[in-house]
Structure 1
Amino acid sequence: MRWVTFDCFGTLIDWRHGIRTSAELIAPGQGARLLEAYNRHEHAVQAESPAVRYRHVLAEALRRACEEEKVELGADDATVLAETLPYWPVFPDVAAELSALREAGWRLALLTNCDRDLIAQTRRRLPVPFEAVVTAEDAGAYKPSDAHFELFRSSYEPEVWVHAAQSYFHDMEPAHRLGLPRVWINRHGARPSDPSIVPHELPGLGGLLAAVETAAAPS
Structure 2
Amino acid sequence: MRLTDFEVLTFDCYGTLIDWESGILAALAPWRKRAGIALGNEVLLTLFSEVESKIEAERPTLLYSDLLAATLVEMGERSGARPTESEARAFGQSVKDWPAFPDSAEALAYLHRHYKLAILSNVDRASFAHSARRLGQEFDLVVTAEDVGSYKPALKHFEVALATLAAMGIPKGKVLHTAQSLFHDHVPAKQMGLTSFWIDRRAGRTGTGATKPPPVPVKPDGTAPSLAAMVEMHRREADR
1:123 Cα shift?
1.1
Q: What SS does the corresponding residue of 1:67 show, helix, strand or coil?
A: helix
Q: What SS does the corresponding residue of 1:183 show, helix, strand or coil?
A: strand
| TM value normalised by structure 2 | 0.81
Per-residue deviation, residues 170-211 of structure 1 (Å, max 9, x unmatched): 00001111111110111113697635x212111111232465
The residue aligned with 2:82 is 72
The residue aligned with 1:63 is 73
The residue aligned with 1:217 is none
CA contact (8 A) 1:38 1:64 kept: no
Alignment of 1:76-87 (within 5 A): 76-87=86-97
The residue aligned with 1:91 is 101
Call closer, same or farther: CA 1:119–1:125 in 2, change over 3 Å: same
In the alignment, is residue 19 of structure 1 matched against residue 24 of structure 2? yes
Equivalent-residue separation in structure 1 for 2:144 and 2:235 (angstroms): 26
Identity of counterpart residues, as a percentage? 35
Equivalent-residue separation in structure 2 for 1:198 and 1:50 (angstroms): 26
Please tell me the root mean square deviation across aligned C-alpha atoms, in Å.
2.4
Equivalent-residue separation in structure 2 for 1:49 and 1:83 (angstroms): 18
The residue aligned with 2:130 is 121
Alignment of 1:100-119 (within 5 A): 100-103=110-113, 105-119=114-128
CA contact (8 A) 1:10 1:16 kept: yes
CA contact (8 A) 2:103 2:228 kept: yes
Alignment of 1:200-215 (within 5 A): 200-209=222-231
Per-residue deviation, residues 105-159 of structure 1 (Å, max 9, x unmatched): 2011110000111111221111232111000011111000110010011122233
Equivalent-residue separation in structure 2 for 1:75 and 1:93 (angstroms): 35
How many residue pairs get matched? 213
Alignment of 1:170-185 (within 5 A): 170-185=184-199
1:212 Cα shift?
6.8
1:52 Cα shift?
1.4
Per-residue deviation, residues 9-48 of structure 1 (Å, max 9, x unmatched): 1110011111111010222264725433211211110111
CA contact (8 A) 2:67 2:92 kept: no
The residue aligned with 1:38 is 48
Call closer, same or farther: CA 1:213–1:176 in 2, change over 3 Å: farther
Call closer, same or farther: CA 1:168–1:20 in 2, change over 3 Å: same
Task: Give unmatched runs, 5+ long, in structure 1.
Answer: 215-219
Query: Which moves more between the two structures, 199-208 or 171-180?
Result: 199-208
Q: What SS does the corresponding residue of 1:124 show, helix, strand or coil?
A: helix
Structure showing greater relative contact order (alpha-carbon pairs closer than 8 Å, 6 or more residues apart): 2
| TM value normalised by structure 1 | 0.88
In the alignment, is residue 194 of structure 1 matched against residue 217 of structure 2? yes
* Aligned amino acid, residue 162 of structure 1: L
CA contact (8 A) 1:45 1:61 kept: yes
CA contact (8 A) 2:180 2:198 kept: yes
Task: Give unmatched runs, 5+ long, in structure 2.
Answer: 1-5
* Aligned amino acid, residue 163 of structure 1: H
Q: What SS does the corresponding residue of 1:133 show, helix, strand or coil?
A: strand
CA contact (8 A) 2:22 2:98 kept: yes
Equivalent-residue separation in structure 1 for 2:16 and 2:91 (angstroms): 18
